[in-house]
Amino acid sequence: MLGALVQLGFDLDTLLASAGLRRADAEDLDAYLSPSACALLFARASRERRIRNLALQLALRTPVGTTPLLDYLVVSSDSVGQGLQRLARYLRLVNPSIRLAIRDERNPTRIVVDSGGDAFQAELTVSISLIRLMRETDDQLKVAHASFIHEPDDVSEYARVFRCPVRASASWNGWALSREAMRLPLRRRDPALRRWLERQAAAMLAHLPAASDVRSEVRRVLATQMTAGDVGVDLVARRLAMTPRTLQRRLAQTGTSFEALRDDARKQAADVYLADATLSIAEVAYLLGFSEPAAFHRAFKRWHGTTPQAFRSARDPVPG
């Protein structure tokens, strides 16, 4: 999506800076950028008023695979209805601030988007979902109508792209599909791939906190940055679109600190790396950002009461 902003003529570096981010943050494919940071960036782009219906234009330029696990879970489903059920179930993996509800008590079925009052996110979720489903049904999908609580820049353009009536200033965000439309097959349906992806998604979902808070956001950043050397509070705060002082204050309000969370992230990563026999103890220490192996040994003894080598040997004993 950041690439799509460049295609549309936005100055990406300026937008990133406005959200407290840098180009390196966006170009790191393994980096975690919090939904709040991304929302701030797109809100700044929307306020420039450079492009009418910015969310729609981004959706038209965002290919399947941008969020691989969620995207392929949806498009490998048998039908539109099954794809929407998986989207509703696993959307939280990508953006915990958006909820999708399928109301099928009547015909047509309503797919309701709860964006917490964020008009841009509502437009983006509706646009990406409908455009993807249209493409994945080879343009066979017919939408009964779409609906927005607010007034988009140009309702007529939405109606043209969605090929359906679009109601503005309505009581809900989302779209409506007939039962026949919900049963339409998707062209990339693949039961074996879907089952494998669903196992991965379910495992990830089980480890997500019930509600997103600053601690879980910090843990997500640390989990993706543990091999980036000494990860400091400045980098993590930037990824979360806040100042280091604000981050430390908010963590203190939850009864923890950045240092404690980083220490715990290092402990968990150390356990994983030591299971890899191809990595030496010194390499594990380097990957975790310790300045020297001795510092890693001291930390590890504090975590487990033993040395890294003894821990590794106990997990993988030499056959007798």
Inform me whether the pLDDT recorded for 54 exceeds 90.
yes
DSSP 190: -
Beta bridge partners of 102: 111
Whether 48 and 234 have beta carbons less than 8 Å apart is answered as: no
Whether 125 and 113 have beta carbons less than 8 Å apart is answered as: yes
Report pTM: 0.69
Task: Give the pLDDT confidence of 90-99 residue by residue, as tens digits.
Answer: 998 888 778 9
pLDDT, residue 76, reads: 95
- Pairing, β 145-147 against β 166-167: parallel
Burial level of 24, CB count in 10 A (0-12/13-18/19+)?
exposed
* Average pLDDT for 51-79: 92
Q: H or E stretch including 100?
A: strand 99-103
Interacting residues of 221 by C-beta distance below 8 A, sequence separation 6+? 31, 32, 34, 235, 236, 239, 240
pLDDT grade for 117, boundaries at 50, 70 and 90: confident
Inform me whether the pLDDT recorded for 228 exceeds 80.
no
Match 């180009």 to its residue by tokens: 23
- Give domain limits for the chain: 1-51, 63-203, 209-315
Please give the full DSSP string across 239-252, using - where no structure is assigned: HTTS-HHHHHHHHH
Minimum mean pLDDT among 28-37, 104-113, 235-244: which range? 28-37
* Average pLDDT for 106-118: 92
Q: How far apart are CA 101 and CA 103, in angstroms?
A: 6
What mean pLDDT, rounded, does the chain reach?
87
Options 1.10.240.10, 3.20.20.140, 3.30.930.10, 1.10.10.60; CATH for 209-315 is 1.10.10.60
Inform me whether the pLDDT recorded for 33 exceeds 90.
no
Task: Give the pLDDT confidence of 128-145 residue by residue, as tens digits.
Answer: 999 999 999 999 999 999
